[in-house]
Homo-oligomer: A and B are copies of this chain.
Amino acid sequence: MTFTLHPQLDQDTIALGRFKLCHVRLMNERHYPWFILIPEGDNIQEIHQLNSNDRLQFIHESCYLAEHLQQHFKADKLNIAAIGNKVPQLHIHHVVRFETDRAWPNPVWGQFKPEPYSESALTSILNFTQPLITAYKP
């Protein structure tokens, strides 16, 4: 099976690693910790198009990520969403929200032009995600 990342996802996000099913990427937007899971699969646009094993694998990976994001960032809320109106390749947003963030309480999509991370802020994210991804047990 070949996996090709949609060019828009490639442009907007930074590769962090992968779980068993999903590639894990970071939206390069410093205002919210915003992670994206992209299940590997051919021409999959909706979660229900995953086969039954992959559906279970997906919810496992999504909850693993979500649980650790909430703990690590002391999130006020997580926003988890499969939208894809502009980028059809299935990708699931996991956005850490704070009552003090610039879009709160609105969703983040289409609100502001993303501003990229500084090198040090990105390093700090990587220092959190690398052990998290390595420790993942399917």
Interface residues of A (CB under 8 A from B): 45-48, 55-56, 58-60, 62-64, 66-67, 70, 77-86, 88, 97, 104-107, 109-110
Per a CB cutoff under 8 Å, which of B58, B70, B78 touches A59? B58
Q: Which residues from chain B contact A110 at a C-beta distance below 8 Å?
A: 106-107
Task: Please tell me how many copies of the chain the complex holds.
Answer: 2
Are A106 and B85 interface neighbours, CB within 8 A? yes
Per a CB cutoff under 8 Å, which of B47, B63, B80, B109 touches A66? B47
A35 CA to B74 CA, complexed, in Å: 30
Instruction: Knowing A55-B63, A59-B59, say if A77 contacts B109 (CB, 8 Å).
Output: no
Instruction: Knowing A59-B56, A63-B55, say if A70 contacts B82 (CB, 8 Å).
Output: no
Q: Which residues from chain B contact A64 at a C-beta distance below 8 Å?
A: 48
Identify which of A45, A55, A78, A104 gathers the most chain B CB atoms within 10 Å of its CB.
A78
A107 CA to B56 CA, complexed, in Å: 26
Are B85 and A82 interface neighbours, CB within 8 A? no
Are A82 and B82 interface neighbours, CB within 8 A? no
Are A80 and B47 interface neighbours, CB within 8 A? yes
Q: Which residues from chain B contact A78 at a C-beta distance below 8 Å?
A: 46, 48, 82
Q: Which residues from chain B contact A66 at a C-beta distance below 8 Å?
A: 46-48
